[in-house]
């Protein structure tokens, strides 16, 4: 967005304050600069170059980008667009998450060396050293590392019997490492349904990290690469597991030519498929909490995408967090760049989880899962964090049962 476009969009905000109760950072600090309307005023000043202050940047940096404010805005202000535009200006001024770190995060999982490096770190004694002697930043990163990363990827996974359809699976960059058990479970379930699963080797990062850190040009390049990887393969759908990636993939039509096939949340896709066929499930007499990521609720507008799928499991007691809990604090790269506020917001979520007395927490966003699992481990909680598809596949009876 150009400065005049930013100012035009920002002028739609009438400063009514209806967004304030929905803003997690404003609720935490009660500082007007940490509210949506306060940040919009700061973005106006940034775009017009009428204010230069470190405090301006601190307030903008502390925004999660959860977009809960958009849900309650009577004027329909596109706050997410304003925030992305502001961060592009900040990057031109030399601020923002390090460009090389962003590229490392988005490229390393596709290199083939990330899984061996993580295995070496875990088993060489280096991890014990970091946990004992590393500073707070290193220890924080260590707690976010996934448990199992798996091996390589095949370009396609065919069902053992008749092929009834063909779908593409978007893995995501962090997902390739942190969500490997869920991705493997997704492939198994889809194969059970007679679907061939295509995992194009040419796919890459969805671009959300770049889009929301002031690098829209790089996000466009990644979007084009993913379209080339998935298009022309006669796919029924392109499926994603991480809602953060899904929100970005759904934005691709606004960035250029869309995918050939519809982009869908895997839980929603599976729910439609399962209804068409007879399947049996092992009962699970457990209390399970369904966490709804901000990207699922506020951007994709599918807050209950996984609920109908999990409710097919007999004896499962599915509950949800109380209304008003808000963002867990993960928010893409936020858990790394704003650790104090990220932890403060996570405590609120974990207190609500403890109050529900559950054994399993399911969430459909990679960052939320890593952030919440790290917090649960720190508190000594036995609650296990899973993707909805992992739990679904675990309870789906095999042909041999």
Q: Which fold has domain 3-92?
A: Fumarate Reductase Iron-sulfur Protein; Chain B, domain 2 (1.10.1060)
Q: Do the domains 156-274 and 3-92 match in fold? A: no
Cα–Cα distance for residue pair 233/175, rounded to 1 Å = 23
Q: Which fold has domain 156-274?
A: Rossmann fold (3.40.50)
Q: Which fold has domain 279-395?
A: Rossmann fold (3.40.50)
Domain boundaries, the chain: 3-92, 99-144, 156-274, 279-395
Contacts of 93 (CB under 8 A, 6+ apart): none
Q: How many CB atoms lie within 10 A of CB 375?
A: 21
What is the residue-level pLDDT of the chain in tens, covering all 401 positions? 899 999 999 999 999 999 999 999 999 999 999 999 999 999 999 999 998 888 999 999 999 999 999 999 999 999 999 999 999 999 998 887 766 677 766 666 655 556 666 666 566 666 666 666 666 666 666 666 666 666 678 999 999 989 999 999 999 988 888 889 999 999 999 999 999 999 999 999 999 999 999 999 999 999 999 999 999 999 999 999 999 999 999 987 677 667 999 999 999 999 988 865 677 899 999 999 999 999 999 999 999 999 999 999 999 999 999 878 999 999 998 998 899 999 999 999 999 999 999 999 999 999 999 999 999 999 999 999 999 999 999 999 876 55
Produce one character per residue of 85-120: b if its CB has 16 or more CB atoms within 10 Å, e if not.
Answer: bbbbbbbeeeebbeeeebeebbebbbeeebbeebee
pTM above 0.85, yes or no: yes
Contacts of 59 (CB under 8 A, 6+ apart): 31, 33, 34, 38, 39, 42
């Amino acid at each position: 967005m150009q400065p005049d476009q930013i100012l035009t969009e920002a002028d739609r905000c009438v400063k009514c304050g209806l967004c304030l109760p929905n803003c997690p950072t404003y609720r935490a600090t009660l500082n007007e600069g940490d509210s949506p309307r306060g940040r919009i005023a700061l973005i106006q000043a940034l775009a017009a170059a009428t204010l230069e202050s470190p405090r301006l940047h601190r307030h903008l940096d502390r925004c999660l980008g959860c977009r809960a404010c958009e849900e309650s805005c009577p004027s329909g202000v596109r706050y997410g667009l304003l925030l992305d535009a502001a961060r592009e200006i900040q990057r031109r001024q030399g601020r923002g998450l390090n460009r090389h770190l962003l590229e490392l995060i988005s490229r390393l999982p596709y290199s083939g060396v990330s899984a061996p490096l993580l295995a070496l770190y875990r088993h060489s004694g280096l991890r014990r050293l970091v946990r004992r002697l590393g500073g707070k930043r290193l220890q924080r990163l260590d707690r976010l590392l996934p448990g199992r990363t798996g091996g390589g990827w095949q370009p396609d996974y065919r069902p053992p019997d008749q092929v009834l359809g063909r779908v593409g699976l978007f893995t995501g960059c962090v997902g390739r490492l942190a969500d490997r058990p869920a991705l493997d479970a997704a492939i198994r379930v889809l194969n059970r349904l007679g679907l061939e699963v295509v995992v194009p080797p040419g796919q890459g990062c969805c671009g959300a990290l770049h889009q929301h850190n002031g690098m829209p040009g790089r996000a466009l390049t990644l979007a084009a690469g993913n379209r080339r990887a998935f298009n022309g393969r006669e796919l029924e759908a392109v499926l994603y597991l991480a809602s953060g990636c899904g929100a970005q993939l759904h934005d691709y039509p606004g960035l250029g030519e869309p995918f050939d096939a519809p982009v869908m949340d895997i839980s929603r896709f599976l729910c439609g498929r399962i209804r068409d066929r007879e399947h049996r499930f092992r009962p699970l007499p457990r209390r399970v909490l369904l966490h709804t990521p901000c990207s699922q609720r506020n951007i994709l507008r599918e807050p209950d995408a996984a609920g109908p799928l999990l409710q097919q499991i007999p004896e499962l007691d599915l509950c949800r967090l109380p209304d008003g809990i808000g963002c867990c604090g993960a928010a893409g790269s936020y858990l790394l760049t704003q650790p104090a506020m990220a932890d403060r917001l996570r405590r609120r979520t974990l207190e609500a989880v403890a109050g529900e007395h559950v054994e399993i927490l399911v969430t459909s966003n990679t960052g939320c899962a890593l952030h919440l699992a790290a917090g649960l481990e720190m508190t000594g909680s036995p609650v296990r964090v899973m993707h909805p598809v992992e739990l679904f596949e675990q309870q789906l009876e095999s042909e041999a049962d």
